[in-house]
Amino acid sequence: MASRLVVILLSIVCFTLSAYWAAGEWLLDTGKPEDVRRATRMMPWNADAWRLMPQVDPEHATDHWRHVLKLAPRDVEARLALAIDAELAGRPKQAEALLLEASQLHKGYLPAWTLANFYLRQDNPEQFWRWARRAATFEVDLTALFELCLHLHPDPADLVQELNLQRSAAFEQLLTAAAKSDLLETALPIATRVAHLRTPAARDQLLWDTDQLLKQGQTRTARAYWNLVAKEGLLPYLAPTQENGDSAGLVNTDFAHASLERGFDWRPGSAEVAIAMGHGLRISLYGKQDDTAVLIRQTTLLEPRHQYELRYRYRIALPEGANPIRWQVGTALSEPLAASDWHEESWPFTAETDASELKLVSIREPGTHRAAGNVEITWVHLARTK
């Protein structure tokens, strides 16, 4: 009978303690500062509870991390946090010792990455590259690591050998780091590797890089990135051919595909017009465009002071007295488009700069009113003349 009573009492105690500890765990899960404090009082031996105290009480964060280390002597997170505190306090030797201990306890990415950061700040390139190479072996997002490496050695292509990069994801991340570091021009070999992946993600990344280069005025490098995407079959049309030895070839010249509105594809202009593509181009004007308005545009590369010829097939349906529609490159303007039936036309002009936009524009002239109607174009070709 006595033994049975003991068992019952022990069961009650165990149940009560379990409920008590469960309440402490529940308090931790809420994440509320006061609940975390109560949890540490209810479970003073619980290192997980004390790990949350630096967030709850940042003024005494160092003391809390030291307490975590007493409760869990092999805790890596506490060592990393205390190492940062030691470095900020001007004790780099202590910081280094804590970081090296963490790297021995945990052979993962975070200690290696943290050590690489530390040695970069301590101006110790030999140790930086040692730990950067170790960090680069892990299958995680290495973009931040590559940004550090490019800060020390701004040549993305060299990092492939320096870090012994093998994974395709690493090349994508290296290209992202190069873009963030404004090094896309020197990252073309990396972009080539990314293009060879032939994935939708690779396509989007290279098109984003192309747009960034265009914004920075690096049109020739942007063209190289664009051509990589096209040559790998990641665009609905081929890379532009170099007619007569130049690089002025337009893309999507027959308007067979809806525009990507990225890179060197056609882009809508500033006008309030409706644009439809697919087996030709149709632009509907409603008379709401500004007096000077761009209807559609495409970036192209030209040779300054060289002669070019734009050929195109079109027809327009505009009322009499409407302002004219013209092609424009730089300050050069074509004659107004005037044919109401299908008509082939050519326009010779001299290139003023190497990077230009071919634009179809609506320019209101004295005595005219804003055009309302349709402009249709079946194809357009641009080539340098001999």
**Looking at per-residue confidence, does 322 or 123 come out higher?**
123
CATH number of this structure's domain 14-242:
1.25.40.10
State the pTM of this model: 0.80
**Looking at per-residue confidence, does 56 or 280 come out higher?**
280
What is the predicted pLDDT for the residue at 56? 73
Reported confidence tier of residue 24, pLDDT bands at 50, 70, 90? very low
Reported confidence tier of residue 245, pLDDT bands at 50, 70, 90? very low
> Residues of the chain with pLDDT > 70: what percent?
84
Q: Whose CA is closest to 139, among 160, 159, 167, 164?
A: 167
Q: Which two tokens stand for residue 263?
A: 């890179």
What's the mean pLDDT in 205-221? 94
Alpha carbons 231 and 217: distance in angstroms, whole number: 23
User: How high does pLDDT run on average in the chain?
Assistant: 85
CATH number of this structure's domain 267-384:
2.60.120.260
Q: Where are the domains of the chain?
A: 14-242, 267-384
What is the predicted pLDDT for the residue at 20? 41
Per DSSP, 287 falls in state: S
Q: Whose CA is closest to 371, among 322, 321, 315, 316?
A: 322
What is the predicted pLDDT for the residue at 13? 40
Alpha carbons 229 and 210: distance in angstroms, whole number: 10
Q: What is the pLDDT of residues 138-186, one digit of tens each?
A: 999 999 999 999 999 999 999 999 999 999 999 999 999 999 999 999 9
What's the mean pLDDT in 35-46? 66
Q: Is the model's pLDDT at 23 over the cut of 80? A: no
What is the predicted pLDDT for the residue at 37? 66
Count Cβ atoms within 10 A of the Cβ of residue 345 and give its class: 0-12 exposed, 13-18 middle, 19 or more buried: middle
